[in-house]
Amino acid sequence: MAIKNDRYTYRVTWSEEDQEYVGLCAEFPSLSWLAASHEEALQGIRSVVEQVVLDLTAQGEEVPRAVACKSYSGKFMVRVPPDVHRELAIEAAESGVSLNRLASAKLTR
């Protein structure tokens, strides 16, 4: 039985250490699946996530919500050392933009 409308965030990458592909799921960071091919790693992690979701549901526990289905405000706080804050404020002033605009531009590069 497949998860209905599976919207979880999957990624497959090469593991040099294991000499195999590793399938990962952002919403379940403790889970992974190793396989010889990219496709098998994706299929494997999706199968593991499906089983975990079924188990959580059967136990009446909360199932993680897919990252893609969450709403985001566009705001978050980042703490930096005071000297970095000062340097960014100077750069923003010299560029004639707000510190927020400067930081946003740096993050979207």
pLDDT of res. 1: 55
How does DSSP assign the chain, residue by residue?
-PPTT----EEEEEETTTTEEEEEETT-TT-EEEESSHHHHHHHHHHHHHHHHHHHHHTTPPPPPPGGGS---S-------HHHHHHHHHHHHHHTS-HHHHHHHHHT-
Average pLDDT over residues 30-48: 97
pLDDT, mean over the chain: 94
| pLDDT digits 0-9 by tens, 83-109 | 999 999 999 999 999 999 999 999 997
Question: What percent of the chain stands above pLDDT 90?
Answer: 94
Q: What is the pLDDT of residues 29-38, one digit of tens each?
A: 999 999 999 9
15-31 pLDDT per residue, tens: 999 999 999 999 999 99
